[in-house]
Each structure stands twice: as C-alpha cells, then as structure tokens.
Amino acid sequence: MSSQPSGVESKKEYHHGDLRRQLLEAVRELIEENGPEGFSVAQACRRAGVSTAAPYKHFKDRHEIMRGVLLLAMERMRQVMQDAADAWPAGDPSRIVALGQAYVDFARNEPGMFQMMFGHSGRHDQSPELEAAGERTGAVVKIVVAEHFNRPVDDPVVQLRAYAAWSFVHGHSFLCLDNKIPFEMPAETEHALLVLVGKAILPDPSAHAGQDHGGG
C-alpha cells in the first residue's frame, strides 16, 4: 500500500497521489466561484499545489479536463433527478413536478456546471462518455413520462411530450441563472409554474381519456 493521501493534502511528496481527482475538483470549484469563463488550468494547479505542467501527465489538454469535470457533473445531475423521481410512487403526477424541480434546483446549486454543460455547445468539451451520461439522464425523464402516460418509452407521444417538458425546465433554468425573470418568483410561485406547465404539457391521461396527446 502506498502512502497516498486521501481527501486533504498531506505532507508534500514528490508524487501527489491523487492529482487527477483533485484537479477535477479544483476546476469545478473555480468555475462555481468565477463563472464558466473564469478558470484556468494554471489556477487549478496552484490550488492543487503542483506545477502548471503536471496536469498534462493525466489529461491531453484543457478540454480533456473539462470533459472529466462535466462527466462528473452530469452524473450528479442524473442522481438528484433519480432521487427526486424515487421520492414519489410511479404514476403520481407530483413525480413529474418533482423531477422538473430537481432539474431547476441542480441548475441553481451548480450554476457554473449547468452553464458549462449546456450553455456553450463546446465542440471541444464533448465526448462519447459524456454523451452517454447525458442520455442516461434523459432516460430518467423519459421513463417517468412514459409511466405517466402508461405508454412505452419510445412512443412518439412520450418522446414529444417529454422533450417539450424538458425544453421548458431547461429554458426556465437558464433564465433563472441569467436573472432574466421579469417579475418576483418566490419558491411557491415557481412550484405553481411547474404544476401549471406540467399539467398543460403532460395532461393527466386518465382525466380526458379520448383526448389526442400526440399533437400533429
């Protein structure tokens, strides 16, 4: 067993032992502190206590670092959404609202991450792994919507309605972070908004059974 320090930095050794993970964490912190633009590899190095050349033993370039950071963030997002869904029984309309709330909450709790994940269309910060992680997150939404409509996940109705709901919470999240909401919105109003739009886009299928939920 090597004497690799875990968690906090211990006595200075030549080999850091946990650099990769600490770099990812340092970058995450910097982005949350200074915004998506406000970070540099050099800053992260200082924070991790290594030279500015050290990261390139672990990552090809700064974009690969970003990909690592984003992958972890996407996994956190999937987790909080899964937890929100699990807090309600399948089929309960509150489940969808909770899911949307979890999405918005993640954006508010990790605004830097959220903006890096979705706001840049960063060509360089893309990867198959990240894409797969994104699809796992999207799957959470689709499954809940499918259960809501009691249809298979690949049903066109489910696809379209799930996407419409996602678009809404996605846009709302961005507008929140940008302080673009043109009126007061306390938590209750936001909840009401989610309920309102949830009902509108994902109407209870048992209520008006004959209705066409597909649209076009």
Q: Which residues bind its own copies (CB under 8 A)?
A: 35-37, 111, 115, 118-123, 134-135, 138, 142, 156, 159-160, 163-164, 166-175, 177-183, 188-189, 191-193, 195-197, 200-201, 215-216
Residue 47 backbone zone (phi > 0: left; psi -120 to 50: alpha; other: beta): alpha
- Determine the 3-state secondary structure of 194 from DSSP: helix
Of the pair 37, 86, the CB lying nearest its own copies is at 37
Cβ partners under 8 Å of residue 190, min gap 6: 101, 104
Q: Which stretch binds DNA (CB under 7 A): 8-16, 107-115, 133-141, 160-168?
A: 8-16
Choose one: 61-69, 72-80, 88-96, 198-206; the region binding DNA (CB under 7 A).
61-69
d(CA 216, CA 199): 19
**Quick one: how far is CA 141 from the chain centroid?**
12
181 binds, among DNA, its own copies, none (CB under 5 to 8 A by kind): its own copies
Tell me: does residue 34 bind DNA (CB under 7 A).
no
What long-range pairs does 10-18 form, CB within 8 A, spacing at least 24? 12/49, 16/48, 16/49, 16/50, 16/54
C-beta of 66: minimal distance to DNA in Å? 9
Q: Which does 5 bind (CB under 5 to 8 A by kind): its own copies, DNA, none?
A: none
Site for DNA (CB under 7 A): which residue of 32, 40, 76, 197? 40
* Look-up of token digits 């939404």: 141
**In terms of CB distance, is 4 or 167 closer to DNA?**
4
Residue placing its CB nearer to its own copies in the complex, 14 or 183 = 183
CB neighbours of residue 215 within 10 Å: 10
* Residue 135 binds which of its own copies, DNA, none (CB < 5-8 A, kind-dependent): its own copies
What type of residue is 73?
A
Please select the residue that binds DNA; options are 51, 109, 150, 189, rule is CB under 7 A: 51
Nearer to DNA, 9 or 204 (CB): 9
What is the distance between the alpha carbons of residues 162 and 140, in angstroms, rounded to a whole number? Answer: 10
Q: Is 183 exposed, middle or buried (0-12, 13-18, 19+ CB in 10 A)?
A: exposed
CB of 83 to its own copies, least distance (A): 22
Query: Where on the chain is the footprint of DNA (CB under 7 A)?
Result: 2-3, 13-17, 19, 40-43, 49-54, 56-58, 60-63
